[in-house]
A and B are shown apart, each in its own frame.
Chain A
């Protein structure tokens, strides 16, 4: 089983639509969770952290379900500029106290006019 799994998509939605992505992780000891955004041929950039209580940033809402070990990202009122690949990222506690972030393979979103 992969450490972090995502539906690769693509999700093809019209402008203004609401779209949700899910991600599952395998390490129950993971403590930090994030969504990153990656534009084509660019480096990933942090979109938002995911907190146990859930958090919202404008049109974006992230949720964490520790019992089921999944993370979700909801995008409301989709814009053309939201077209990108969304990467689910989970930390993997290391024996050497290192901090390693494991990336899912990403979910591609295409927002059409």
Chain B
């Protein structure tokens, strides 16, 4: 069966520090991968998606970047965090044929101080 792992689960970082969140999927190949962010009390905002290794699409201009170095690995990064980067970050995957269901990791809760 397929599983998705996301880490770290919780982190507190100072403004200006770097960030790296990692997500891996097991039990499937060539998944579509996604990073979403949910600010406190808000809906999910799609940040990045990837349909294959090295293929990254950005949905909104921001202080973050994403990379997909391997088929089932998706990394979210920042060189210098801003206060506004605080939120709940969710990695998700769906099959390469396009769904229908989106499977989420357990999320990473980031607080920037």
Is B61 part of the binding interface, using a Cβ–Cβ cutoff of 8 Å? no
Contact mask for chain B residues 75-113; partner A; CB cutoff 8 A; 1 contact, 0 none? 000000000000010100010001111101111010000
Question: Chain A residues near B101 (CB, 8 Å)?
Answer: 34, 46, 49
The smallest beta-carbon distance between B97 and chain A, in angstroms, is 8
How many chain A residues sit at the interface, stated as a range, is 20 to 34
Q: Which of B49, B59, B90, B100 has the most CB of A within 10 A?
A: B100
Question: Chain B residues near A102 (CB, 8 Å)?
Answer: 46
> Closest B-chain residue to A88, C-beta based?
B43
A23 to B4, CA, bound (A): 29
Interfacial residues, chain A to chain B (CB-CB below 8 A): 32, 34, 36, 41-46, 49, 87, 89, 91, 94, 96-106
Q: A43-B107, A99-B98 are in contact. List 16 more A-B contacts (CB 8 A).
A: A32-B99, A34-B100, A42-B106, A42-B107, A43-B90, A43-B105, A44-B102, A46-B101, A49-B100, A49-B101, A91-B98, A91-B99, A98-B49, A98-B51, A99-B32, A103-B43
